[in-house]
Amino acid sequence: MAPKKRPEAQKPLEVVLRPRSKRARDSGESEPQAKKLSVKGCGPGRRHDSTGPWAELPSLQVPQLQPSSSLVRALHQHRLGRAAWPSMQQSLQQSFLHSLASYRIFQKAAPFDRRATSLAWHPTHPSTLAVGSKGGDILLWNFAVKDKPTFIKGIGAGGSITGLKFNLLNTNQFFASSMEGTTRLQDFTGNTLRVFTSSDTCNVWFCSLDVSAKSRMVVTGDNVGHVVLLNMDGKELWNLRMHKKKVTHVALNPCCDWLLATASVDQTVKIWDLRQVRGNASFLCSLPHKHPVNSASFSPDGAQLLTTDQKSEIRVYSASQWDCPLGLIPHPHRHFQHLTPIKAAWHPRYNLIVVGRYPDPNFKSCGPYELRTIDVFDGGSGKLMCQLYDPESSGISSLNEFNPMGDTLASAMGYHILIWSQEDEARK
C-alpha cells in the first residue's frame, strides 16, 4: 500500500516535574508517613499505625542489603572462579530490591484524552519511551530533556493502539497494531512507511504485535483468533486461525526467535515452532488456563514464560517443561471493560516480575483498605518482595515496564504516564 501522511497533533502536553520540597530535602527531618511512597518491609520490631488504610498494607520482607564490601568480595570471588554466577546474580538482585525502597515518581505526563493502552522503551536511550492511547495517539517522550515530546495524533474513537515496538534496524521508526484495522510501520513525523496487515471490515482488528530484527519477521494477532506472520518487506508467510477467540498477545522468544507464544481469551496459551507450522493444530504445547489470558511473555534469557490471566493468577513456565507451570502466583488484577488489561512483565536483568494490583473484595487475602500498588515478585519463588505506591497517584497501573537498563520504571495509569526512579537519581 502507498505510504500515507498522518497528522501531527498540536495538543499541549501536561508534563509535571515533581522535585522534593525544601522541607523534605532537609536530612535532619523526615517526611510525614502519609506523604511517603510505600515500598517497605515490616520487620517484627516495627510499629504500625492501627488505624486508617495504611494499617492494611501487607507486611513485606525486603531482603537486607549486603554491605558494599560483601558485594566487592563476591565479585572478586566470581572473577577468581570461586563463586558461581547464580549466587552472584542473587546477590545483585537482593541489592536491587533494597534500592526499590528509595523509588519515587519524579515525572508524570497526561498527554492523552483517552487512557494509555501500550508502551515501549527505546532500546538504546534509557530515558525515552513511546506510549499509545485508546484514541490512536502516540507519544515519544524523552523525560530527561525539557524539549516538547513528539506527539502523533490518532483518529480518536476506534483507533486504539494495541501494540508498540521500536524498529531495532532504525530506531526513528516503530511498529504499531491497532483497532483501526492495521499493523503498520511508521516514523515519528507521522508518516506511514508500510502497512503489513489491513482488515477490510470494522469487525476485525489487530490486538497484538511482536517483531524479530534478527530474522526480519513481524507477527500480529487479531480479534477473531488469526495470527499472521510476515517478513519486513511486507510479504505474508502465513495466516492461520490459531485460537478460537481474540489473540491478546504474541511474543517471540528473544534467544530463539523461531519460538512463538500466543495468548487468547479462549483460556489458552500456545507455544509454536515457526519452522514447523503447518496448520492450527501444529503447536508444540497448549497451556490451558482457568480464565481468559491477557499476556504471555518470555523472560529475557528465553528460558521462562510469564502469563497473566484476566482474574487472579500469574503463572511462570519453564522451557524444560512447558506443560507444567513452575509456579502459580495468586494476584488480584481482574478484567474491567474500561480498564487497560493488566499485564505482568519481567525485569530485564533480574528474575523479578512487576505487575499492577487491582484489589478485589472476593480475593481471599483482600483487606478492607487494600491499596492499588505496583507489586514486585520473585520469579523463582513467587514471593511478593515489595510494593510501590504513591498516595497522590493512587489509580490502577495496568502496564508497568522497566527500561532496558532496569533502573527506571514506567507505568500507565489511566490517562497518566508515571516515571519511577531512585530518589537520588531523580533529583539529579
What's the pLDDT at 16?
Answer: 45
CA-to-CA distance for 295 and 316, rounded, in angstroms? 12
Cβ atoms of 267 and 291 closer than 8 Å: yes
Cβ atoms of 147 and 185 closer than 8 Å: no
What's the pLDDT at 301?
Answer: 94
Q: Which residues on neighbouring strands pair with residue 260, listed in sequence order?
A: 252, 272
What's the pLDDT at 14?
Answer: 47
What is the residue-level pLDDT of the chain in tens, covering all 428 positions? Answer: 445 444 444 444 444 444 444 434 443 333 333 333 444 333 333 333 333 333 333 334 444 444 445 556 666 665 666 555 567 788 888 889 999 989 999 999 999 999 999 999 999 999 999 999 999 999 999 999 988 999 999 999 989 999 999 999 999 999 999 999 999 999 999 999 999 999 988 899 999 999 999 999 999 999 999 999 999 999 999 999 999 999 999 999 999 999 999 999 999 999 999 999 998 899 999 999 999 999 999 999 999 999 999 999 999 999 988 888 999 999 999 999 899 999 999 999 999 999 999 999 888 877 788 999 999 999 999 999 999 999 999 999 999 999 999 999 999 999 999 999 997 655 55
What's the pLDDT at 216?
Answer: 96
Phi, psi angles (nearest 5°) of residue 358: -120, 95
What's the pLDDT at 383?
Answer: 95
What's the pLDDT at 47?
Answer: 35
What's the pLDDT at 92?
Answer: 87
The structure's pTM equals 0.81
What's the pLDDT at 79?
Answer: 64
293 contacts: CB under 8 Å, gap ≥ 6: 248, 249, 263, 264, 265, 267, 268, 269, 307, 308, 309, 310
What's the pLDDT at 62?
Answer: 42
